Structure 1
Amino acid sequence: MDRDFREVFPKTEELDVHYSEAEALERHGNPFAAIRLLKGMSVCYLLRYGKMTTEGSRKTSKLLSAYMDRYSHKEKEISRLTDPFGCIHGGVLRVRSTDFAFSLDLDSNLKYLFPDEDRNFSGEDSDLVWQVHRFYRNLPTETLPENWEREYRKNREGLLFFRPDRILFSIGTTLHYHPLAFDAKNYYLVWDALRGINSRTMQEWEYRRKKEGEIYRTTLTVTTPDGRKIPTVLLERFYLRGRRGILFCLSFPERYEAEARKIWDGFSDTIVVE
C-alpha cells in the first residue's frame, strides 16, 4: 500500500480501482477496511445496476464472502468496524447500515472520520455498547487551537458532540444488553448521559432544548479558549427499535444555519429506519 493512501467511500465510476484497493488492504493487514470498502461497493453496484448481476458485482460479492469467512472469528470487530458503510453515487453519499437497518443520503463533500482515524468512536460497559460516526465540514473562518479537541476530552465527562469550527453530523448507535428502562419518548436521556449533558453543563452552556415535530432543536453557547462565545445549534432525531437505538445529530455555529440546514434537509428527505 502507498503510505499516502487515504481511505474513502467507493464511487460508482471507480469500482474496478476499488476492487484492487480492497485486495491490497486485506493483503497488507487491513481486513476490516477491505470489508468496509467491499460492502460499500455492493451498494454502488445496486444503485448503478439495480438487481441486474454483472461480472463486477459477482467478483465483489465473492471476495466479500471470502473475507467474511476468513475473519469470521472476528465477528465483533467486523460488526463494530464495518457498519455503517456507503457509496458515492450521483454526487451523493449513500450511507447504509445492516446492523441498525437504516439508510440515508448526505452531501458527498462532508469528510468522514473512519473508525481507524477516530479512537473515541466506540465504547462498552455492562449495559450497552455505543458507537459514534462523525461526518464534518470545516469552517475556515472559525479557528481553534490544534489541541482544542484533546483538551475538551480531557476536561469533560462525555463524548464530543459539537465543534465551534465545524458543521458536524453524527450518527450514534446503542445496543443494549438488558431490557430498557427507556422508551422512544425518553431515549434521548441515554445520549445525554453519554455526552455529559446534565444540570451542571446545561447551565454552563445555556443549554435549551425544544421539540419541533419529530426533531429536537437545541441552542447552547460554546466558549472558545480565547474567550469567544459562539451561539451553537443542535438538530437531533432519535429512534429506538427494541434494544437498538439511533441518534442523528447535526451541530453547527448558529450563523451557519442556512448552510447546515441544507445538509439536514437532505438527510431528513432520505432517512429510512426499518
Structure 2
Amino acid sequence: MSAVGESEVSSKPTPVKPNVAAATTPPQASQCTRQFITSVASKIASQPLQNYDPGVWGVLTAISTQARKRNQGINILLTADEHWIGRTVDDVRFQIDSTAVSGRHCKIYRKRAANEDTKHTSVCLKDMSTNGTYLNWMKLTKVGAEAEVRHGDIISPSAPPQHDLAYAFVYRDVSLSSPSTDGAFAKRKAEDFVTDNKRVKGIGIGSSDGPISLDDFRSLQRSNTELRKQLENQVVTIDTLRNETRLAVECHENVYSW
C-alpha cells in the first residue's frame, strides 16, 4: 500500500511556476509609453509659434487628456517673470481644477545670471506642494531645490506624465519656436508670401509690419486645425498604451494569484 501511495504521490503533476520573464512586460510597456509621450512632446515643441505678443517668452502646451480638457484652452502663455500654477491661484489661466493639486502648487520663473555682464536667462521650476511636481519623470518636492526647465521639457503637477489623472504640459521657449528669417521658414517660395497690397485691414491680429492678410489668417487656422488633429490622435494612442499596460499588469497579478 505504501508503494502505491508513493506512486500516486509521484504521479501528481508538478505545479506550474509563474513565468518570471513575463513579469518584465509591464515595465517594458511603461517604458514604451514614456518614449511615446516624450516623442509627442518633442514633436509639439518643434512646431513654430506665430503671432504671439512680444511679451510672451514661453508657452505651456497641454499634452495629456486632463490638461486638454481645461476650459482655459490648451496653451498657457508665460509673460511675467514669475507664474504660480495651482488649484486656487489668482490668475485663472494657471488654475488646475484637481484635488490632487495644491492651491499654490508650483511656480515657473525666469532667473537671470548673477553676473551682470552676462545676459543669459534661465527658466526654473520650483515645487511648493504636498504631492510634488514632475519635470519629465523626475519628481520635485518642496524641500528640494529648483530645477532648470528647457525647451521641450514636460511639466506635470502631482502625477507623472503617463498617469490617467496627469495634467501634463510641454514647455516651449518662444525664442526657439518662432520662425526666423535665417531658418527653414525663410525657404518658403516667394509666391507664398503676401504682398503689401493684399493686406486687409481690420483682421484684428497684428504683426510688426501691420495687420496680417486674410490668406495668412486662413493658413494659420488650417495649421492649427491640423496640429490639433495630430495631437488628438497622439493622445488616443497614449490612452491605448495605458490600457494595454493596465491589462498586462492585471494579467500578471492573476498569474501570481494562481
The question of a shared fold, defined as TM-score above 0.5 by the shorter chain, is answered with: no
Which structure's residues are more often strand, by fraction?
Answer: 1
Q: Rg: which structure is higher?
A: 2
The one of the two structures with greater contact order (alpha-carbon pairs below 8 A, sep at least 6) is 2
TM, length-normalised to structure 1 = 0.23
